[in-house]
Structure 1
Amino acid sequence: MLLHIQKSGLTHAATAHDWWHRFGRVPKKGTRPLLVLRTKGPVDFVFDILDTEGRDVPVDAFAFPTFGDLSDNRFSEFMRAVGKERIDLVVLDSGDGQAGWIRLLAESKAETGKNVYQLAYNRNHAAPTRFVTVAHELAHLYLGHLGSDAGRRVPYRRDTPHELMEVEAEMVAYLVAMRNGLKPRSESYLANYKGAFEDLNLYAVTRAVNAVETAMGIASHKLWNEKS
């Protein structure tokens, strides 16, 4: 990606604002910022963690990092939309290493009805990270990783290799987040599944992105990441 072209070996980067407000750190004097493409503008400036100083960063601070602005109220709006989709939401009180999960609760008895699912997310994560978690878990549903769902027009792809499932779901979450003003560090997560990229189904990914945004009540014309 663009950041790694500018600085190979980079692990964690964020804006000066994010470094200060989330970790009490500031860019070192004379440090040159790195450029990233901004969602609704030309470019933004970020700094590598090694180019900042201040408070010590917790060891597990970047287990599921996502940068960007999203209020708890906005996140709650998205969850209300998801809850109307025959998806039971479970709020976890877990450590930083637990993000969330999704599972099939019941298949619809109607031939064209929607199945019922249960989706969990960690309430202890920041709202942007919770957003990406929910998008990732919903992606598994709409990619067919939990089986077919006639009511949602989801094909059966439960036999997809686990590594490929994770790559597809994280790519969907990444695209949904980036399209809506958030910056997940998906490359760190995807580095664990490098061998699965060759069989990536881009059509399924693109279709799932639209389905996830619809399920979360995200309208393409609404800039929901503006201040409430």
Structure 2
Amino acid sequence: MKPTDQFDLFAQELENERKVGRADRRLKSFAECATAIDRLFQDALQATGPSAFDEFIEFARRLSNLSVYNAMLVRLQRPGAAAVATEKKWNDKRREVKPGAIPIVVLRPFGPVSFLYEVSDTDGPPLPGEHNNPFVTYGEMDEIEWAKAVKHHQKESKVRIEEMNFGTMLAGNARNLQAVPSRYPKSAQAEAPEWLIQINKNHSVPTRYATLAHELGHIFCGHCGADPSGRWPDRSKLPYPVREAEAEAVSYLVCARRELDVASSEYLRGLIKDIDLRQVSLYAIFEAANRIEGKTK
């Protein structure tokens, strides 16, 4: 064998080894990414049920300026993000990043990381379609009244209320803590909460109040399970659109009686149009509204 042939054979073997190494690294990267994203999805399924699938797909579609993997990184750090961009791009749209805003970290092609900000992290002219956000509520309500409502339901309804740094399109959520008593053990406080509500702290006070009413509606209508004291039954098996319609009806009713303008009336009409109204309980809606207003019999 000629020396040149030996060199070519060695070069070919070296290239094959490089290809195998690249393939192994890619498979390892796939496995790590799959583990991270699938764990995030499984957690969401456990918390919200089958609707989590649609939410994940819609989230990735909405952030079409990012890779799908980076969209999921945004979803992990800022659930409900409506629009994200670098500080420079927000400045180009005449919006300024708020002082103290926490950036969202994503991967940058051919580099380490980039820092993005969600629209709620910025101030400036409204974006196209921003007024169509179904969660927005308008009216007069100050922080003092909001704090009183929070304090009342934390005490009387045994609800833990947390204000979270969510994105624009996520108003809040509610869940049953009775299945996980270790999160707030009775030894840590006189009486552990039985329910948890998380609310977007970036929304206005009226919008936060409407969200609180919506999530309390889910709890008081039995969508999160039965009340241990027997005040309402377990109605968690109802179809998701029915549960959502009842909770939104509770929020609309409570806010309208408080003279707040709820933008979600169109959202509610859309929900009602597509459900079997025989599954809706007006009694559960009215009773939930009474509890939120503090007018229980």
Report the TM-score when normalising by structure 2.
0.49
Matches within 5 A, 1:177-192: 177-192=255-270
Q: Which residue of 2 aligns with 1:76?
A: 147
Q: Which residue of 2 aligns with 1:211?
A: 291
The alignment of Structure 1 onto Structure 2 pairs a total of residues equal to 158
Aligned counterparts of 2:269 and 2:237: Cα–Cα separation in 1: 22
Alpha-carbon displacement from aligned partner over 1:53-83 (angstroms, at most 9, x marks no partner): xx65553344212111111121111111111
- Structure 1 pair 123/62, CA: closer, same or farther in 2 (3 Å)? farther
Could you say which structure has the higher helix fraction? 2
Decide which of 222, 246, 263 is 1:168's aligned counterpart: 246
Q: Which residue of 2 aligns with 1:35?
A: none
Look up the SS of the partner of 2:197 in the other structure.
strand
Determine what percentage of the aligned residue pairs are the same residue: 32
Q: Which residue of 2 aligns with 1:102?
A: 174
Aligned counterparts of 1:114 and 1:94: Cα–Cα separation in 2: 25
| Unpaired segments ≥5 residues, structure 1 | 1-54, 220-228
Per-residue deviation at 1:190?
Answer: 2.1
Per-residue deviation at 1:117?
Answer: 0.8
Report the TM-score when normalising by structure 1.
0.63
Q: Runs ≥4 in structure 1, deviation > 4 angstroms?
A: 55-58
Amino acid at match of 1:174: Y
- Structure 1 pair 196/88, CA: closer, same or farther in 2 (3 Å)? same
Alpha-carbon displacement from aligned partner over 1:103-133 (angstroms, at most 9, x marks no partner): 011169xxxx997011110111000000000
Q: Which residue of 1 aligns with 2:282?
A: 202
Per-residue deviation at 1:186?
Answer: 2.1
Q: Any conservation in 1 of the 2:160–2:193 contact (CA below 8 Å)?
A: no
Q: Any conservation in 2 of the 1:93–1:122 contact (CA below 8 Å)?
A: yes
Per-residue deviation at 1:204?
Answer: 1.4
Could you say which structure has the higher strand fraction? 1
- Structure 1 pair 56/156, CA: closer, same or farther in 2 (3 Å)? closer
Larger Rg: 2
Q: Which residue of 2 aligns with 1:86?
A: 158
Per-residue deviation at 1:188?
Answer: 2.7
Q: Any conservation in 2 of the 1:167–1:197 contact (CA below 8 Å)?
A: no
CA RMSD of aligned residues (A): 2.4
Q: Any conservation in 2 of the 1:114–1:150 contact (CA below 8 Å)?
A: no
- Structure 1 pair 150/188, CA: closer, same or farther in 2 (3 Å)? same
Matches within 5 A, 1:118-129: 118-129=196-207
Q: Which has the higher contact order (CA 8 A, sep 6+)?
A: 1
Decide which of 122, 132, 137 is 2:210's aligned counterpart: 132
Q: Which residue of 1 aligns with 2:17?
A: none
Look up the SS of the partner of 2:196 in the other structure.
strand
Q: Any conservation in 2 of the 1:114–1:151 contact (CA below 8 Å)?
A: no
Look up the SS of the partner of 1:89 in the other structure.
strand
